[in-house]
Structure 1
């Protein structure tokens, strides 16, 4: 992490990470949680949280940007431009499910996105579109498939699963199995193959 072009010291980075994790947990349970409650949950002084974040809104915006950075890296790690489309789609879905389950509040409570998060989101959607185009070109998706509609349906399935109650259960679900179900539903509908 960096602030104003300078890398943060390791202890400052740990504090920021602890604050964001505590905020994600607390705000998910109580969207009205105060900065002081977040500081207490993170195990940092109130002055630390106020020094790092100008306001609660600024904290949530930074959390959202961090989440989108992770999603972008996760999609890129799936090699959407070079891996076989089905492999890339499955890996990207699995990766993103992991991230979305950890950032449920930050990814669902900021609208509109801040400028940086919106830019990262747009780049990620471009990668998604390129992957669906490759899927159509290789025959994974039928010719003439509406790629914008396909992306919208895919994201709706992904978001529904990532925000579902299964993640609240001890041990949680198997993201790899969920990714397979999302892709099967996208490609074949709800009927069993």
Structure 2
């Protein structure tokens, strides 16, 4: 009996993994992908899908949670020490690629998840930026007249706007990081101070 229950639990975990993987893939191609499409891509029936996820919101939440978790591991490898301007540039380059890869999934999340839940999912990346901005303020290179939380929101809003511009055909993915960095540096620079170059000369 014990081995049978263990096998059932293993099957359930495999099904959950398959559903979340399929959700990330399907929603990554089409934010409007249906649960039926996701179930087919996962090679499970709708009954099995609903046995693990009670609604589309739960499926989207699970897919977004996994994507953010995987992205967080990537950001763990980014060097955010040293000069805050260079560190911010490295963060933008790494983060942008993650946003670029998951921009369709993010569209689905913004449609199906509450804004508070999306902020909660992004709390770890936000904490990294908050720490970096605080260092930059201490060094005198980032503005202090606006709250750190606002500056973090500005950074993420610019990234999401870049994704919108790519979807609209007005920006190419390979130029997005440079555009984002230049805009963020201008937004973060203290009033009256010269805006640093966004290229290798930082």
- Say yes or no: TM over 0.5: yes
CA distance in 2, matches of 1:48, 1:23: 19
Question: When the two structures are superposed, what TM-score results if normalisation uses the length of structure 2?
Answer: 0.67
Distance change >3 Å, CA 149–CA 119, structure 1 → 2: closer
Q: CA deviation at 1:60?
A: 1.0
* Residue 3 (structure 1) aligns with: none
Deviation at 1:15, TM superposition (A): 5.2
Please list every run of 5 or more consecutive structure 2 residues that lacks an aligned counterpart in the other structure.
Answer: 1-9, 188-194, 198-202
What is the root-mean-square deviation of aligned Cα atoms in Å? 3.4
Q: How many residues align?
A: 174
**What's the offset of the Cα at 1:21?**
1.2
**Stretches of 4+ moved more than 6 A in 1?**
8-12
What is the deviation of 1:192? 11
Shift of the alpha carbon at 1:155? 2.0
* 1:1-193 → structure 2 map (5 Å cutoff): 13-14=17-18, 16-26=20-30, 28=31, 31=32, 33-40=33-40, 42=41, 44-46=43-45, 47-80=47-80, 82-101=81-100, 102=102, 103-109=105-111, 110-114=113-117, 118-142=119-143, 144-146=144-146, 147-166=148-167, 173-174=173-174, 177-188=175-186
Q: Could you tell me whether the CA contact under 8 Å between 1:19 and 1:49 is conserved in 2?
A: no
8 Å contact kept, 1:20–1:59: no
TM-score (norm 1): 0.69
How many Å separate the matches in 2 of 1:150 and 1:65?
24
TM-fit CA distance, 1:70: 3.2
Q: Which has the larger radius of gyration?
A: 2
Q: Kindly tell me: are residues 134 and 112 of structure 1, through their superposed partners in 2, closer, same or farther at Cα, counting changes over 3 Å? A: same
